[in-house]
Structure 1
Amino acid sequence: MTNRPDPSRFAHVTDWVFDLDNTLYPHHSDLFSQIDVKMTAYVSELLSMPRDEARALQKQLYRDHGTTLKGLMEAYRVDPDDFLEKVHDIDYSWLDPNPELGEAISALPGRKFIFTNGDRNHAERAARQLGVLDHFEDIFDIVAAGLEPKPSKATYDRFVDLHAVVGSNAVMFEDLARNLRVPKALGMTTVLIVPKNFEPTFTEIWEQDPYEEDDVDFVTDDLTVFLRTILQDKR
């Protein structure tokens, strides 16, 4: 399903902000499942804990702290660089290159950013595999965010200040509705990316993300088609 963009909501946009995981690449690619397995293994090794117990703790840390990394840092003083390097040691060939998406992003007028709770290396490798990396002005990652993940308002404030983004001139694309609440409050147009036809993949019940309609302006399960529609309206 695609909620057709209203041309008047995008004609003024000068800054296009994209989440990475399950946003720039489709949910069914299942790339994050590799990271999820790596995080469980990391917790298991760190705490000499059986795998099932480590997975339960990993999920609890995610729920309580916003990301597994933040929870591990606060509870166990984990070195974030070590964690990020190990959990992102994955096979990026799972992602199919998407030249059509690259063309659409390239054609958008203004600046384009990746804004991710992952690290820069992960974002660069994923975006390079997709064939879209060269179209972005910068990547704002978890390190640039001071290791404070979305949806913390302080993280959005850092991003906005660093790149002099005016909310009313920006749009944000995200697969988690809770991460659109602050952008909406900052005046950004918000677009929620959902799995194709809402078909379930590896997402678990605890990760379901109901949203307030006031926080989400548009919903789409096809980012490329959505962007192409905007571009058609601009011509």
Structure 2
Amino acid sequence: MTNQLSAHRITADRFSHVTDWVFDLDNTLYPHHSNLFSQIDVKMTAYVSELLQMERDEARTLQKNLYREYGTTLNGLMERYSIDPDDFLEKVHDIDYSWLDPDPRLGDAIRALPGRKFIFTNGDRGHAERAARQLGVLDHFDDIFDIVAAGLLPKPAAATYDKFVALHRVVGENAVMFEDLARNLAVPKKLGMTTVLVVPNNFEPTFTEIWEQDANEEDDVDFVTDNLADFLETAMKA
């Protein structure tokens, strides 16, 4: 998969059967280079620092350790410190969404997809709605499955995917999932979904740390793209 923008070539039969299109939000629906998530990252560090009366560098180290161990910083803070998740989600998503440029081409591509479209995010619904609205794509989605709907259990936990699939009666073989983290595609792949990894433009490094790369999960990835709108247009033309 390395140095290729498609793990497999898009052919006419690969997406003709798809009835459910499932998109992660952060760094997937909107591009990595927008750097929007960096605002959330800073807010999370500040939250940990204030909660535990730590210096910022110490708080950031703990934040990242919690992320690695528990899947999300929120999950780790709940497990270790019994924080109020609503308070956390409200504070870390108090950000400037004008960093996102509206993307009419992406909106047109999503609207043209046959079947249902979902946002499936480890963030909360409010964040997803604000980001998608700023992009100009919100009205093209049938529903948002957020961390609250998941019972605060984040991807890549299998139980979270099971809840999503059961709620919306998604048949894996008829679905495709788009994600920026390969580890979050492992369960969808096992469920029979087609999987697409969305990477930064030309694989350029961004604010994403090295440990967020998932080289060991490449067998769970069917396709790789650095341009979501272009990929969707190509899939519909194939």
Q: Same fold (TM over 0.5)?
A: yes
**1:210 aligns to 2:206 (yes or no):** no
**Quick one: distance in 2 between partners of 1:211 and 1:190?**
15
Could you tell me which runs of 5 or more consecutive residues in structure 2 were left unpaired when the two chains were aligned.
none
**Quick one: distance in 2 between partners of 1:11 and 1:73?**
42
**Quick one: distance in 1 between partners of 2:219 and 2:66?**
28
SS at match of 1:78: coil
2:196 matched residue in structure 1: 191
1:68 matched residue in structure 2: 73
8 Å contact from structure 2 (residues 120, 145) kept in 1: yes
2:181 matched residue in structure 1: 176
The superposition leaves residues 40-81 of structure 1 with CA deviations (integer Å, 9 ceiling, x where unpaired) of 000000011111110111011101100000000000000000
SS at match of 1:96: coil
1:92 matched residue in structure 2: 97
Whichever residue aligns with residue 224 of structure 1, its letter is A
- Please report how far the alpha carbon of residue 232 of structure 1 lies from its aligned counterpart in structure 2 after TM superposition: 1.5
Whichever residue aligns with residue 111 of structure 1, its letter is R
**Quick one: distance in 2 between partners of 1:208 and 1:192?**
11
Q: Would you say how many aligned residue pairs link Structure 1 and Structure 2?
A: 233
- Please report how far the alpha carbon of residue 206 of structure 1 lies from its aligned counterpart in structure 2 after TM superposition: 2.3
Moved more, 208-217 or 187-196: 208-217
Matches within 5 A, 1:140-151: 140-151=145-156
Percent identity over paired residues: 80
1:57 matched residue in structure 2: 62
Moved over 4 A (4+): none
**1:6 aligns to 2:11 (yes or no):** yes
TM-score w.r.t. length of structure 2: 0.96
TM-score w.r.t. length of structure 1: 0.97
Whichever residue aligns with residue 145 of structure 1, its letter is A
Aligned Cα RMSD in Å?
A: 0.9
The superposition leaves residues 188-220 of structure 1 with CA deviations (integer Å, 9 ceiling, x where unpaired) of 000000110111111112222224332110000
1:165 matched residue in structure 2: 170
Could you tell me which runs of 5 or more consecutive residues in structure 1 were left unpaired when the two chains were aligned.
none
**Quick one: distance in 2 between partners of 1:123 and 1:177?**
20
The superposition leaves residues 158-183 of structure 1 with CA deviations (integer Å, 9 ceiling, x where unpaired) of 00000000000000000000000000
- Please report how far the alpha carbon of residue 225 of structure 1 lies from its aligned counterpart in structure 2 after TM superposition: 0.4
Matches within 5 A, 1:19-168: 19-168=24-173
**Quick one: distance in 2 between partners of 1:181 and 1:208?**
14
**Quick one: distance in 2 between partners of 1:208 and 1:194?**
10
